[in-house]
Amino acid sequence: MALGRHLEWLGRRDAADAAGLHVSKVTEALKIRVLVVEGDGAAAEERVRYLRRQGYTAATVATGEEALRVHGNSDLVVLDLDLPDIDGLEVCRSIREEGDKPIISITARDTELDRVLALQAGADDCVVVSCGVREMTARIEALLRRTSARPGPTRSISIGPLHIDGKSRGVHLNGGPVNLTAKEFELLHILASDPANVISRKELMSRVWDTSWADSSRTIDTHVSSLRSKLGASTWVITIRGVGYRMGHG
């Protein structure tokens, strides 16, 4: 299929109405442009077709080179890390360096290391390739709610050598910058805002991910692991077994 056809953004209300969608929901969803970066043509078409039925404007490209060239026309990127030309992690880093656009990465292996590498590369969420279209759409909706509808934290916090700037969303440790994803920043800010108390997993999922998915333990643990790695010590985030987490120190 020609690249021009892949990059044709769907924008007609009649197509959405034909899918039986509520007009107000469609009007809102059509403002969101999702770019699916996927080397498997069949999988890409399935994702795009389902997103369009839900009212999103969606397009697909098959290579990292194409993704880096056109992602500026999208509001959110669904990125398969197994691409035929460029390492998907490098593509993720490059997109992240250009801004805070939401990125959902897709990995072939369901291991903690793969999820951590994706998050460290700048992804906001990471799912396995077997993730169904309904779950993928739910994750997109949750990510968009968090990034566009909810005001971010503005309070600045200092704990020893760690400084968290709520307005700029910047983090510095011992005077040097710490590059965090949007979710990692929110997780750290919530814990640091109430360092004396334990924050439950359920509350963290609600406040950071705006959801209560059954796989919350894996999601939170992966982000905590990545956060500890970036801060250089596991003692910055303390696990309270069976309950949740609290802020520690370096």
Q: For residue 104, which of 133, 140, 74 has the smallest C-alpha distance?
A: 140
Residue 11: its pLDDT value, please?
39
**pLDDT score for 211:** 64
Query: What is the structure's pLDDT at 198?
Result: 94
- 132 Cβ contact list (under 8 Å, min separation 6): none
Give the separation between CA 163 and CA 176, rounded to whole angstroms.
Answer: 10
- 216 contacts 180 by C-beta, under 8 angstroms: no
**How far is it, in rounded angstroms, from Cα 209 to Cα 48?**
23
pTM, full prediction: 0.59
Stretches where the chain sits below pLDDT 50 are 1-30, 214
At 10 the pLDDT is 37
